[in-house]
């Protein structure tokens, strides 16, 4: 099973009752299409399995049989769009693959860019979550109907069924024009972050309005993490958006996950390109910057003293990824 399929099975798994991994490339859960057995709530006859590198779904109750692509299309159209685009970027299209190339329509967009929402501090759950993470609730916003509100800014969701409350993390360009936003879920069994770009041509980067490009810019993985770092931004999409900083001095800061193959590969590629990267020192157990702050680490000092490039970066990286 390729990494993209594995990732999206993980994202959709929270919506599948009795979901469990049986073994490599085989997952079992209650079928969401027929609802599975109505008499026996513990029966689970839906499966994800792999045949010739393609991930498929099969229900042994109703007989439904779909590719993972069509399963996501049936269950969640937004997640399906993200999956299709990601597969397309990875080159998994055409003959022999179950994902069709996405239909890209280039129309001049009409945007509503005013952020007409209350601050996150007005909602008890949002305020408590942010304060517990040592984040300022006044820097973020809140909506109790994310899909409905998003559609007033840009038509994104075909259905507002099962709408939910989310913290809104606004993304501005350097002219302080709203270019997009992330919605952070407050519900445990939901996709944590959903990114919506109002301006599809803009880079998916948080914090462009607060940096001085004449100084080194720290590039981290999440908007919340960036609030703890001086002169920093966060990537809300792929590393491809790094092209925005061509000609500027940047320092790439990935999560402290030496066993995460995707992160290890990305750091390796950055070092090969000659980029400056942070290699976390031994003894730091926390995964991300926010958790490091909560644990009492002086994160800025760690970043400055553990930034490497070239041969030195390769040596430090090889030691780190063996931890």
Tally helices (H) and strands (E) across the chain: 10, 15
Q: Please give the Cα distance from 256 to 292 (Å, whole number).
A: 10
CA 112-118-124 angle, 5° bins? 145
Domains and CATH numbers, the chain: 3-89 (no CATH), 120-202 (3.90.980.10), 208-320 (3.40.1360.10)
pLDDT, position 245: 84
What tens digit of pLDDT does each residue of 250-266 get? 999 999 999 899 899 99
Higher-confidence residue: 298 or 98? 298
Query: pLDDT confidence of 278, banded at 50, 70, 90?
Result: very high
The per-residue pLDDT for 89 is 72
Going by pLDDT thresholds of 50, 70 and 90, the confidence category of residue 91 is low
Residue 321 token pair? 């990824």
Per-residue pLDDT tens for 103-114? 555 555 554 456
Which range, of 141-145, 199-203, 276-280, averages the lowest pLDDT?
199-203
Q: What is the DSSP letter of 208?
A: G
pLDDT-based confidence at 96, cuts 50/70/90? very low
Query: 69 pLDDT band (50/70/90 cuts)?
Result: confident
Three-class secondary structure of residue 26 per DSSP: strand
What is the rounded distance in angstroms from the CA atom of residue 96 to the CA atom of residue 4?
16
**What does the pLDDT average to over 255-283?**
92
Task: Pick left, alpha or beta for residue 205 (phi over 0 → left; psi -120 to 50 → alpha; otherwise beta).
Answer: beta
Q: How confident is the model at residue 243 (pLDDT cuts 50, 70, 90)?
A: confident
In this model, does residue 283 exceed pLDDT 60? Answer: yes
Distances (CA, A) of 24 to 8, 71, 198: 15, 20, 39
Tens digits of residue pLDDT in 142-163:
999 999 999 998 888 888 888 9
- Arithmetic mean of pLDDT, 9-13: 90
pLDDT (tens digit, 9 = 90+) per residue, 155-196?
A: 888 888 889 999 999 999 999 999 999 999 998 878 889 998
């Amino acid at each position: 099973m390729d990494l993209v399929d594995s990732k999206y099975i993980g994202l959709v798994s929270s919506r599948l009752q009795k979901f469990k991994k049986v073994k490599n490339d085989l997952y079992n859960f209650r079928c969401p299409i027929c609802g599975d057995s109505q008499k026996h709530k513990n029966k689970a006859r839906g499966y994800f399995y792999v045949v010739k590198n393609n991930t498929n779904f099969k229900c042994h109750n109703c007989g439904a049989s779909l590719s993972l692509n069509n399963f996501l299309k049936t269950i969640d159209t937004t997640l399906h769009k993200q999956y299709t685009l990601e597969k397309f970027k990875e080159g998994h299209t055409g003959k022999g693959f179950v994902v069709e190339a996405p239909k890209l329509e280039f129309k001049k967009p009409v945007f509503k860019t005013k952020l007409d929402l209350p601050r996150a501090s007005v909602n008890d759950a949002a305020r408590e979550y942010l304060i517990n993470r040592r984040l300022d609730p006044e820097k973020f916003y809140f909506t109790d109907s994310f899909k409905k509100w998003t559609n007033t800014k840009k038509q994104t969701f075909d259905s507002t069924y099962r709408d939910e409350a989310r913290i809104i993390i606004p993304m501005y360009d350097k002219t302080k024009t709203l270019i997009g936003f992330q919605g952070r879920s407050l519900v445990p069994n939901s996709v944590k972050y959903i990114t919506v770009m109002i301006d599809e041509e803009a880079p998916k980067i948080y914090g462009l309005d607060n940096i001085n490009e004449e100084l080194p810019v720290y590039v981290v993985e999440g908007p919340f993490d960036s609030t703890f770092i001086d002169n920093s931004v966060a990537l809300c999409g792929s590393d491809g958006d790094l092209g925005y900083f061509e000609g500027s001095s940047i320092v790439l800061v990935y999560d402290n996950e030496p066993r995460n193959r995707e992160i290890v590969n990305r750091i390796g590629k950055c070092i090969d390109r000659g980029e400056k990267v942070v290699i976390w020192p031994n003894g730091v157990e926390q995964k991300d910057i926010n958790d490091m702050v909560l644990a009492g680490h002086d994160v800025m000092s760690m970043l400055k003293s553990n930034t490497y490039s070239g041969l030195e970066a390769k040596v430090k990286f090889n030691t780190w990824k063996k931890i």
